[in-house]
Amino acid sequence: MSGILSSMTNNATSTTADPLGEALHSLRMSGTLYCRSELSAPWALKLPVGKDCLSFHVVISGECWLEVEGTDPFRLLPMDLALVPHSDGHRLSSELDVPALPLEELKRRFEKVSDSYCILRYGGGGSATRLICGEFNFDHPAARNLLELLPRVIRVEASSSPQMDWMQSALRLMAAEASELRPGGETVITRLADILVIQAIRSWIQEDSAAQTGWLGALRDMQMGHAIMLIHRDPDHAWTVASLANEVAMSRSAFAARFTELVGEPAMRYIARWRMHLALTWLNEDRVTLAELSSRLGYQSEAAFSRAFKRFNGISPGAIRRNGEGTSDTRTLVSASNNST
């Protein structure tokens, strides 16, 4: 019976697999800070450049301007939301010509509710605007792949969104939870933020032609998307171009050419980079030995893994663990390595 069930499960997976859906599923956020802002005109906030984080802004009532470097400023109206995916510094204001105070200078005004939630009341006493803002980290490698492809800012206008009704319901619930912060309120806000961020990214994927090419375009391709999903699910498997081509019923040469065309790098290079992304994540998060990590990623020995890791990242896995160099430095190395392909 277990064999029959396993076979049924495998068959269902192969026919209903959704590679893009799996990438979106990886966007499980860990919030570093939530802030309910009660602002009165004139006011302006300058938000600093972050590290490996996405900023999230929802207008609960009133309106404001959002300025992100390299883009035109735009007005956010009630129930609009905006994402700033690339840790870029940006500015929120009642009017564009209002001098902005750096957020660091306003921290003394924060009313701390918990370690990750605060309230900010600030402004000149004029028309009121209420915001919910957050900073989030994404640690899963597929999430980082996806975030790298996003534009400088994503705006979802509640008035024009096809999902307007449920989005406004979610935003109203978020506003209610933020106003009272009852037991479990932070968890509710976090889950709602997860949904709203994913919906904003889905809207961008559906509407922007840039999302139809590259890695995202490959995920939408039935055969290449399935191959990428196999690599993601089984990084320890001894994948070859021939074995992946066989899995998606293509010739080796046709598969190799199409993978490189859509993804922008050869399949074996992608496999190596995916394993290195996983290695960085697990080195930073798990108390796993290098030998165990090597096995998880399909290397025959700890030495073979360490050589591959250093060749790809320019630093040994042992050095990362000893020095606690962590996320930002090593991801910069990975990014530089990717750009050299």
**Could you report the per-residue pLDDT of 181-217, keeping only the tens digit for each?**
677 777 787 778 777 887 888 878 877 777 777 888 8
pLDDT at 325 over 50: no
Per CATH, is 214-339 categorized as 1.10.10.60?
A: yes
Quote the CA–CA distance of 52 and 176 in Å, as a whole number. 29
Cis peptide before 42 (omega within 30 of 0): yes
**Is 60 exceeded by the pLDDT of residue 12?**
no
What's the mean pLDDT in 223-238? 92
Q: What is the pLDDT of residue 75?
A: 95
CB burial of 310-326 (b: ≥16 within 10 Å; e: otherwise) equals eebbeeebeebbeeeee
What are φ and ψ of residue 68, in 5° steps?
-120, 130
pLDDT confidence of residue 338: 42
Q: Was domain 26-211 assigned CATH 2.60.120.280?
A: yes
The mean per-residue pLDDT over the stretch 248-256 comes to 96
Would strands 74-76 and 90-93 be described as parallel, antiparallel, or unpaired? unpaired
pLDDT the model gives residue 336: 39
* Out of 147-151, 168-172, 279-283, least confident range: 168-172
CB atoms within 10 A of CB 211: 22
Which residues, in sequence order, are CB contacts of 229 under 8 Å at separation 6+?
17, 19, 22
Stronger pLDDT, 2 or 310, i.e. the higher one: 310
For residues 267 and 215, what is the distance between their CA atoms, to the nearest angstrom? 12
Return the structure tokens found at 198. Answer: 């994913």
Say yes or no to pLDDT of 329 above 70: no
Q: pLDDT tens digits for 274-307?
A: 998 888 878 876 677 888 888 889 888 888 898 8
| Banded pLDDT at 135 (limits 50, 70, 90) | confident
Share of the chain above pLDDT 90, in %: 29
Tens-digit pLDDT profile for residues 79-101: 888 999 877 789 999 999 999 99
Judge whether residue 21 has pLDDT over 60: yes
Residue 331's pLDDT band, with cuts at 50, 70 and 90, is: very low
- The whole-number pLDDT of residue 203 equals 79
Task: State the Cα–Cα distance between residues 270 and 278, nearest whole angstrom.
Answer: 12
For residues 158 and 267, the model is more confident at: 267
**Domain boundaries of the chain, sorted by first residue:** 26-211, 214-339
Q: Which residue has the higher pLDDT, 330 or 85?
A: 85
Mean pLDDT for the chain?
80
Which CB contacts under 8 angstroms, 24+ apart, belong to 205-213?
205/20, 208/151, 210/149, 210/151, 211/149
> What pLDDT, on the 0 to 100 scale, is given for residue 332?
42
d(CA 273, CA 299): 14
pLDDT at 105 (0 to 100): 87
The answer on pLDDT for 340 being more than 60 is no
Confidence grade of residue 13 (pLDDT, cut at 50, 70, 90): very low
